[in-house]
Amino acid sequence: MAGFQYFWTCPSCGTELELRKRVTQTKRRCPHCGDPVTFQEIDRQGVERGHQEAKRQFDQTTGCLWAFLALLFLIAICQVVGNK
Protein backbone atom coordinates (compact mmCIF):
# COMPACT_ATOMS: atom_id res chain seq x y z
CA MET A 1 0.00 0.00 0.00
CA ALA A 2 1.60 3.25 -1.11
CA GLY A 3 1.71 6.00 1.45
CA PHE A 4 0.61 3.75 4.24
CA GLN A 5 2.10 4.82 7.53
CA TYR A 6 2.11 3.75 11.10
CA PHE A 7 1.86 6.07 14.01
CA TRP A 8 3.13 5.46 17.47
CA THR A 9 2.22 7.55 20.46
CA CYS A 10 4.53 7.24 23.43
CA PRO A 11 2.54 5.84 26.36
CA SER A 12 4.80 7.66 28.79
CA CYS A 13 5.00 11.21 27.43
CA GLY A 14 2.58 11.33 24.48
CA THR A 15 5.18 12.08 21.80
CA GLU A 16 3.93 11.01 18.36
CA LEU A 17 6.17 9.25 15.89
CA GLU A 18 5.44 8.58 12.24
CA LEU A 19 6.75 5.22 11.07
CA ARG A 20 7.18 3.96 7.53
CA LYS A 21 7.25 0.33 8.57
CA ARG A 22 5.52 -1.69 11.23
CA VAL A 23 8.70 -3.45 12.24
CA THR A 24 11.54 -1.03 12.51
CA GLN A 25 14.94 -2.19 11.30
CA THR A 26 16.77 -0.57 14.14
CA LYS A 27 15.26 -0.28 17.57
CA ARG A 28 13.48 3.04 17.70
CA ARG A 29 13.14 4.92 20.91
CA CYS A 30 11.01 7.84 21.91
CA PRO A 31 13.11 10.97 21.22
CA HIS A 32 11.63 12.60 24.28
CA CYS A 33 11.86 10.08 27.11
CA GLY A 34 13.68 7.10 25.53
CA ASP A 35 10.85 4.57 25.81
CA PRO A 36 11.31 1.73 23.29
CA VAL A 37 8.95 1.71 20.29
CA THR A 38 7.35 -1.74 20.11
CA PHE A 39 5.27 -3.06 17.25
CA GLN A 40 2.85 -4.55 19.78
CA GLU A 41 2.05 -1.01 20.87
CA ILE A 42 1.87 0.17 17.23
CA ASP A 43 -0.62 -2.63 16.52
CA ARG A 44 -2.66 -1.89 19.62
CA GLN A 45 -2.90 1.79 18.72
CA GLY A 46 -3.69 0.87 15.11
CA VAL A 47 -6.62 -1.27 16.26
CA GLU A 48 -7.86 1.57 18.45
CA ARG A 49 -7.58 3.98 15.53
CA GLY A 50 -9.47 1.50 13.34
CA HIS A 51 -12.29 1.30 15.86
CA GLN A 52 -12.54 5.07 16.07
CA GLU A 53 -12.59 5.35 12.28
CA ALA A 54 -15.30 2.66 12.01
CA LYS A 55 -17.38 4.42 14.66
CA ARG A 56 -16.98 7.77 12.89
CA GLN A 57 -18.13 6.27 9.59
CA PHE A 58 -21.02 4.53 11.30
CA ASP A 59 -22.13 7.82 12.88
CA GLN A 60 -21.94 9.56 9.50
CA THR A 61 -23.94 6.81 7.83
CA THR A 62 -26.57 6.89 10.58
CA GLY A 63 -26.76 10.68 10.30
CA CYS A 64 -27.35 10.46 6.53
CA LEU A 65 -30.01 7.81 7.04
CA TRP A 66 -31.94 9.97 9.50
CA ALA A 67 -31.70 12.98 7.17
CA PHE A 68 -33.01 10.82 4.33
CA LEU A 69 -35.93 9.53 6.45
CA ALA A 70 -36.77 13.08 7.56
CA LEU A 71 -36.81 14.17 3.91
CA LEU A 72 -39.14 11.28 2.97
CA PHE A 73 -41.38 12.20 5.89
CA LEU A 74 -41.54 15.82 4.75
CA ILE A 75 -42.37 14.77 1.16
CA ALA A 76 -45.12 12.46 2.47
CA ILE A 77 -46.62 15.28 4.56
CA CYS A 78 -46.49 17.67 1.59
CA GLN A 79 -48.36 15.16 -0.57
CA VAL A 80 -51.00 14.53 2.09
CA VAL A 81 -51.52 18.28 2.53
CA GLY A 82 -51.50 18.83 -1.25
CA ASN A 83 -54.18 16.20 -1.87
CA LYS A 84 -56.71 17.93 0.33
Among 20, 33, 60, 63, binds Zn ion (CB under 5 A): 33
Q: Measured between alpha carbons, how far is residue 69 from residues 14, 22, 46, 76, 81 in Å? A: 43, 43, 34, 10, 18
Is residue 35 a contact residue for Zn ion (CB under 5 A)? yes
CB of 19 to Zn ion, least distance (A): 14
Check residue 5 for interaction with Zn ion (CB under 5 A): no
44 binds Zn ion (CB under 5 A): no
Write the burial class of residue 14 (CB in 10 Å: 0-12 exposed, 13-18 middle, 19+ buried).
Answer: exposed
Which residues contact Zn ion (rule: CB under 5 A)? 10, 12-13, 15, 30, 32-33, 35
